[in-house]
Amino acid sequence: MPASSENDAQPSDRAATSASSSAEPQLDAYGFRLPSENLDQAGREASDKEQEEMTEKWSKYAKQRSLPSAAKLKRYCRRGIPPSIRPWAWPEISGANQRKHEHQAGYYALMVRQGEAGSECAHQIDLDLPRTFPLNAWVAGSAGQTALRRVLLAFSMHKPTVGYCQSMNYIAAMLLLVLNKCEEDAFWVLVALIDDGILYRDMYANNLLGTHVEMRSLEELLGMKLPRLRQHLVKLQCDITIIATDWFLCLFATVLPSESAMRVWDALLHEGPKVLYRMALALLKMQEEVLLQQDNPGFVLHKLKRAAHATHDRAALMKVAFEGVGSMPMARIEGFREQKQEVVQVELRRRETRQQLQKAISDNDTSDHDVLSSRGISAFADKIKLTYTSRRRDISSIRRGSPSSSH
């Protein structure tokens, strides 16, 4: 039986076809599904209009392959770089292109080969690959998984003191999506972010020292900018670390819609980590009244998560971040960091001491001698004394500001 033409279809068939067509998910600029309900369409359209205006402003610079003057560049990054311009602009703004040219030709390919041959991080990377944006068709597909793996392996070899830290997979995946799936460009912008000081040092260290410092500093800024909210969170015993650690480690890529998160990155790549503070305070400020009504830390987290996921009006978010939270001199942030760095280092040393003591207890070999004998007790006491002495020496040097203990 021949297939019927569209004109031959019955009204009910046409309605079903129309319904099926309308059910197709709407995707954003980077292939992420937009919500079918409760989408802030008006806010998204307003942001799209601003993006069109910025496309005209950015186009002539992209054509000339030359960035605007310093003052204009800051303003243009805050107002947003259009998706079509980012593949050229980001490597330039971040310093990634310069870093690439400082290395030998083929450096990325070399790091990939070394990583594939024997990166200590390969197992953890492979575990995290399928968890990375599983609803994004390209990232979840074979091409995306292969590209993401290569970028992360290459970075683990380039920066062995960091290697790989969970959350870097989301950053690398977004870089691939934004930079036209170009692995080498994604690698060098990742290097610029973590290795060249755009982000605060030790953000991705094994003990997340830098992240702890950033959280403590954010808490101080929260007390200055939103004192009622900070007091309320303290009352609820809702630590800012629980709220914002993922924000900073993933650079908002997993909490904001991708188009909004990439607006954050436009400014971040140019201005550095101060932008993360502004965005965190903006999200908290926008939800302050709602959060003040919550009487449970779980409700606070739930409300913030839902609000962040629904922030499709990226223009409004940026306006609050750069105009609504007030001045934020970098010198003030650096002052907080200096104070918190010492506190966090001492706390991490104490944690390490506890872990070593536990290890000393578990490693005490009772097969060689009875731990309750005089010899066993003496050997066990020596282990504890040695551990304490070593840790106290380290902590004392930190308090004296010894260069050997600074990071």
The 3-state DSSP class for residue 373 equals coil
Q: List beta partners, residue 33.
A: 27
Which pLDDT score is estimated for 62? 94
Residues lower than pLDDT 50 in the chain = 1-21, 366-374, 377, 380, 384, 394-407
The 3-state DSSP class for residue 185 equals helix
Say if CB 183 and CB 176 are below 8 A apart.
yes
* Token representation of residue 227: 């004192």
- Cα–Cα dist 11/373, whole Å: 92
Which pLDDT score is estimated for 7? 42
The 3-state DSSP class for residue 325 equals coil
Evaluate if pTM is beyond 0.95: no
Which pLDDT score is estimated for 36? 84
Torsion 24-259-214-282 (CA) sign: negative
Which pLDDT score is estimated for 358? 64
Say if CB 178 and CB 90 are below 8 A apart.
yes
Say if CB 251 and CB 269 are below 8 A apart.
no
H helices of 250-401, in order, are 258-271, 274-286, 288-292, 297-309, 314-319, 330-363, 374-399
